[in-house]
A and B are shown apart, each in its own frame.
Chain A
Amino acid sequence: MNANAFDLGEGAPIITLRGIAKSYWRETLEIPVLQGIDLEIPSGAFVALMGPSGSGKTTLLNLVAGIDRPTGGTLEVCGHELNDLDDDELAAWRNAHVGFIFQNYNLVPVLTAFENVELPLLLTGLGRRARRERVAEALDLVNLTDKQWNYPRQLSGGQEQRVAIARAIVTDPDLLVADEPTGALDAKNAEEVLGLMSRLNTEMGKTIVMVTHDPKAAHQARHQIHLEKGVLDRAVEVNR
C-alpha cells in the first residue's frame, strides 16, 4: 500500500478518491492545496478529518460533498462519478445524497425551525403532507418538536445546530458532511450534537465525514484521518 492510499477497513466504499488534486491560481502562480489524495471510505463509516489550519480539510470535504471540483483525479461518491455530472446534475445529486452541517449553522433567519428543515424537501416531488411528516420526524429525532415554530434567533446555538442537523437528514441522504460542527458551541452543547451524530451513524447507518480541530470531537468518530499540507498523513482507528 502506498503511503497516501488509505483504506478504512471492510465494506463497500461509498467514497472513493483517486489521485485527487486541487490547486488555486494567483495570476500564473499555482498554489497547490491538495495533492495526490487516494482514499476509500466504506459505507457507514464515521470519519474525523483532522489537521492543522490551512492543511486543506475544508477543501477536501467540499470536494467529497460535490460543491467544489478537483483540478486533478477522480472521485466516486454514493455511486456517482462526480466529474461526469454537470452543475445541475451535481445539484440534484447533492439534494438526494448529501446532508450538510456547518460550523455556524447557516439557518435561514426569516424561516421557522420547521420551515428551515422543510427547505431541501421543496426540491423533492413530495406533497405537502408527506413533507410535513418527514419534517416532524426529523425534528423529533433532534428532540426539538416543541421549538418548531421558533425562528433561529429564538433558539440557542446548540438548538440551532440541532435544527441544522434535522435539515441535513430530512431528505434521508447516505452521506453527512460536517465542517467543524461543534466549533461555535460550548462543551455541553458540543457533546449533545456529537452524541446526536453518533446516533445517526450507528442507528441510521449514515456515513459521516466531519472536519474538526477538537480531539474530543474526533474521539466520537471511528476513524481519524490526518491531513498535513495537502497530503494524507495517517489514518487512525479510534479505540473505544
Chain B
Amino acid sequence: MRWLALIWKSLLRSRRRTLLIVGSLVLSVFTVAVLQSLLTTLDSITDNPNSGSRLAVRHKSGITQMLPRSYETYLRQQPEVETVCALQWFGGYYQDPRNFFANFASDETTIFQTFREEFGLSSITEAQIKEYLRDGAGCIVGESLALKNGWKVGDVVPLTGTIFPINPRLTIRLIFKSSRPSDENVMHFHYKVLEEGVPRMKGLTGAFWVRVHRPEDIPRLIDRVDRHYANSAYETLTETESAFNLAFVKMLGNISAIIQGITIAVVLAILIVTANTMGTAIRERGSEIAVFRAMGFSASRVLSLLLAEGVLLVGLGAALGIFLAQAAAGAVRSALGAVMPFFADFEITSATALLCLAGALVVGLLSTFIPAYAATRRPITEGLRSVG
C-alpha cells in the first residue's frame, strides 16, 4: 500500500459524501466553465486584433444602397491605404435554405491581402491562389464549411440566390484554414460572377473593405474619405471594424457583469456545500484520527492526508465537470455554429479549464482545512474516547 492508495481508500469510505461532492462540483464547474467560455467567445468577437487596421466604406443611407466600384481608384490613391477590396453579401444557399453560411462576391485580386489573418495564408500556397484567380467561376471555402458539406477541391457547388436572381455553379479551387472556426464558415467567389449575372449590379458594390498600413492613420483617413464624397450622388459612411462592433460591446458589459455575478454565487454555494460535507465526514472520523496519531502519525501528517483527500475529491469533480463542459461545447458548436456564426468559436479554452480547476482546488483546500485542522489539534485521548 502506498500513500496514494491510503488516500484513495479513505475517499471511498463514504459513498454519500463522495457522490455529493463530486456531483455538486461537476454541476458547478460545468456551469462556470460554460458561462466563462461564453464570455471569452463574446469577447473574442470584439477583440479581433485584425479589425484595428481595417475600415468599411459603405453608402451613407444604409447597407442596401450601393457605391460605384470606381471609388476604388480614389481609395487606393490614399497614402495610408494598403489594399481595397469590394465585397458584396450574396446571401445564397446550398441545397436547403436552412443550410445557412456566409457567401460573398469579392474582389479576387485583393481579398487575400485584405483578410490575410482570416485566411491563414500560411496554410495555402501561391499555386492554389493562382488556380482560383485563373477560374472565373471558381470559389474558395473555409475548411469547416467544406467538411460539413463533404466538399473537396474540384467539386462544383450550385448556389441558389435569394437576394439576387442568379444561381451560380462554382468550382472549389481552394480550401483555407483559419485560426477561428467562425472565419471558416465562409465562401468567396469572383466579383464578376455577380456583375455579369446581375445587370443592375454592374459597376456597383455594397461595401469596400480598406486595409491601412498603420492603425493610427485611421481617424484621418475616415475623415478625408467621407469629406471627399460629401454632397456627391453616392455619399459614404466610413467606420472601423471595431466601431462597427461597438454597439455589441455595450451590451457585453452587462452580460459580463451578470456572468461574473453568477460565477461568484456558484463558487460560494459550492464552498458551503463542500465545507459542510467535509466537516461532517471528518468529525465522524474522530476516533480513527486519534488511532492514526497514537500509532505515530504526527498531527501535520494526518492534516496533509486529509487535505490530499479533499483536494483529490474536489479535483475529480472538477475534472469531470470540465470534461462534460467540453462535450457540451462541442454540441453547441455543431447545433448553433451554423446559425449564429460566433457560436462556431464556442469552446472551453484551456485557460478557462485551468481557472475552473484551480478554483475547485482552492475550494477543496479551504473546505477541508478548517475541519481537518480542528480535528488534528484535538487531544488524542479525547478522540479515543469517542466511539466510532
Contacts and interface: CB of A to CB of B under 8 A. Distances in A.
A96 B299 contact: no
Nearest to A124: B296
Contact of B296 (A96, A110, A115): A96
A106 B291 contact: yes
A236 interface: no
Interface stretch (A34-42, A72-80, A84-92, A187-195): A84-92
A119 interface: yes
A94 B295 contact: yes
A19 interface: no
B154 to A, nearest CB: 63
Contact of B293 (A62, A67, A109, A122): A67
A137 interface: no
Contacts of B10: 110
Contacts of B194: none
Interface string B322-356: 00000000000000000000000000000000000
Nearest to A132: B1
Most buried by B among A62, A111, A122: A122
Contacts of B9: 110-111, 115
Nearest to B385: A58
Interface in A18-77: 58-59, 62, 65, 67-68
A87 B291 contact: no
B105 to A, nearest CB: 70
Contacts of A160: none
A204 interface: no
Contact of A87 (B287, B298, B384): B298
12 contacts: A62-B381, A67-B384, A91-B301, A95-B296, A96-B296, A100-B295, A102-B291, A102-B384, A106-B291, A108-B291, A120-B295, A122-B6
Pick the 7 closest A-B CB pairs, nearest first.
A95-B296, A67-B380, A91-B298, A120-B295, A106-B291, A94-B296, A110-B9
A12 interface: no
Interface of B: 1-3, 5-6, 9-10, 12-13, 287-288, 291-301, 379-381, 384, 387
A123 interface: yes
A115 B288 contact: no
B297 A123 contact: yes
A88 B298 CA distance: 6
Contacts of A65: 294
A132 to B, nearest CB: 10
B344 to A, nearest CB: 48
A167 B301 CA distance: 19
| Chain A contact residues, majority secondary structure | helix
A146 B287 CA distance: 28
A92 B1 contact: no
A92 B293 contact: no
B180 to A, nearest CB: 49
Given A88-B298, A106-B291, 12 more contacts: A58-B381, A59-B381, A67-B380, A68-B381, A91-B299, A91-B301, A92-B298, A95-B297, A115-B5, A119-B292, A122-B1, A123-B301
A174 interface: no
A102 B383 CA distance: 13
A180 interface: no
Contacts of B13: 109-110
B1 A115 contact: yes
B292 to A, nearest CB: 8
A118 B295 CA distance: 11
Contacts of A120: 295-296
Interface in A83-141: 87-88, 91-96, 100, 102, 104, 106, 108-111, 115, 118-120, 122-123, 128
Nearest to A115: B1
Contact of A119 (B2, B295, B299, B384): B295
Nearest to B13: A110
Contact of A94 (B1, B3, B6, B294): B294
